[in-house]
Structure 1
Amino acid sequence: MSFLGGPELVHEVIEKIRVIRDRLRKAQSGKKSYDDVRRRDREFDVHNWVYLKISPIKGVVRFVEKEKLSLRFVGPYEILRRVGKVAFELYFPNDLALVHPVFHVSMLKKCIGDPSTIVPLEGFEVKENLVYEEVPVEMLDRQVKKLRNKDVSSVKVFWRNHLVKGTT
């Protein structure tokens, strides 16, 4: 009694496995070369000053505007020590005691200049998951535009922790 596929089936399976491995190797190589072109190695030393990336969240209303959705950094904070190859421990003031002080290098941005000249933001509360709440301070302007059969009202709002150009 002979095997159903015989040696031909075994050779066919081995050939298909070789083709799959070659295609996986090619895909991984392409992804690696794509990432290597765009990757910037960030190196920090102990006692350097860095900014920490956080994400803004809005209460009820979300405005779709590029400036509001851009990356936000707070700080600067001093690096206390290196933890592993790509993580650093930061020194936080007492108001950020709830935030874990160890961050991946991708969450940090080098502070260029003298950090003692930077004025800290008052009333700026960062939560444990590195988000902060946007709070409207003042309504600067109100308009009502007439369309064909409806009125569309728009309000210009000045947000806390933003410059005047950051109004929406």
Structure 2
Amino acid sequence: MDSLDTDFLRDGMEQVHMIQYRLLTAQSRQKSYADRRVRALMFMEGDHVWLRVSPVKDVMSLSAVHAVFHVSMLRKYIPNESHVLSLDSVELGPDLTFEEEPIVILDRQVRKIRTNEIA
């Protein structure tokens, strides 16, 4: 091996070390950004919580909620007199779904798609 090969190899190794160092720096920065948003969630038995079933990307129905979900989907319930919580019983099907029946229709829209009209 001549000196040109060793110089080329040394330069390549230095570039690899520089890339690794910059990747570690970027990972550390991203971790610090993520750690600022993380908050410790502590729930005790008997606490009331909200289960968030509408993620940012898509709206989920209760039938699509899995029996096991991440704790990040829970929000602590802070009692408020303006919240009206009805304790009416709900008839659940064998697959834990229920039929929701509207009490009053407040608005009606008709969408026209090509030649079809959909209410």
- Which of the five TM-score ranges fits, normalised by the shorter chain? 0.5 to 0.7
Q: What CA distance in whole angstroms lies between the structure 1 residues aligned with 2:38 and 2:88?
A: 31
From the superposition, tell whether residues 13 and 120 of structure 1 become closer, same or farther in structure 2 (CA, over 3 Å): farther
Higher strand proportion: 1
SS at match of 1:22: helix
- Is residue 105 from structure 1 mapped to residue 71 from structure 2 by the alignment? yes
Amino acid at match of 2:44: D
Q: Tell me the TM-score normalized by structure 2.
A: 0.56
Higher helix proportion: 2
Partner of 1:46: 45
Amino acid at match of 2:106: E
Q: What CA distance in whole angstroms lies between the structure 1 residues aligned with 2:63 and 2:53?
A: 16
Number of equivalences: 92
The Cα shift of 1:98 comes to: 7.5
RMSD (CA atoms): 4.0
Which one has the largest radius of gyration? 2
Q: Any stretches of 5+ residues in structure 1 without a counterpart?
A: 57-68, 73-95, 141-168
SS at match of 2:69: strand
Structure of higher RCO (CA pairs closer than 8 Å, 6+ residues apart): 1
Q: Any stretches of 5+ residues in structure 2 without a counterpart?
A: 109-119
Q: What CA distance in whole angstroms lies between the structure 1 residues aligned with 2:71 and 2:33?
A: 20
Amino acid at match of 1:24: L
Q: What CA distance in whole angstroms lies between the structure 1 residues aligned with 2:46 and 2:31?
A: 33
Partner of 1:16: 15
Partner of 2:106: 138
Aligned-pair identity in percent equals: 34
